[in-house]
């Protein structure tokens, strides 16, 4: 019997969102270049390796930060 495709779990989605929210604060304060994945991971109670389970790289995390920002701007603009 084929296995069903696994979807995102609510807990994992919440963790990803918390990582993005903390990345906004870290990158906003220190800049993307100086803001570290280690600091973001620490703020959400993960190791850097644990954070990389959710986002493959700093660039991927930053791209998600920008995507969500753009989404909020579009929603606010109507």
For residue 29, give the nearest of 18, 14, 39 by alpha carbon.
39
* Domain residue limits, the chain: 10-77
- Using alpha carbons only, what angle is made at residue 33 by residues 27 and 36, rounded to the nearest 5 degrees? 60
Q: What is the pLDDT of residue 8?
A: 64
Task: Give the CATH H-level superfamily of domain 10-77.
Answer: Homeodomain-like (1.10.10.60)
Q: What is the pTM of this model?
A: 0.84
Confidence of residue 2 (pLDDT cuts 50, 70, 90): low
- Give 6-28 pLDDT, tens digit per residue: 556 888 899 999 999 999 999 99
Q: What is the pLDDT of residue 28?
A: 95
For the chain, give the percent of residues with pLDDT over 90.
83
Q: What values do phi and psi take at 3, rounded to 5?
A: -80, 145
Q: What values do phi and psi take at 58, rounded to 5?
A: -60, -40
């Amino acid at each position: 019997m084929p296995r069903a495709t696994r979807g995102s779990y609510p807990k994992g989605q919440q963790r990803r969102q918390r990582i993005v929210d903390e990345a906004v604060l870290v990158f906003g304060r220190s800049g993307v270049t100086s803001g570290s994945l280690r600091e973001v991971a620490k703020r959400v109670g993960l190791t850097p390796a644990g954070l990389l389970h959710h986002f493959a790289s700093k660039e991927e995390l930053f791209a998600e930060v920008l995507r969500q920002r753009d989404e909020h701007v579009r929603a606010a603009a109507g």
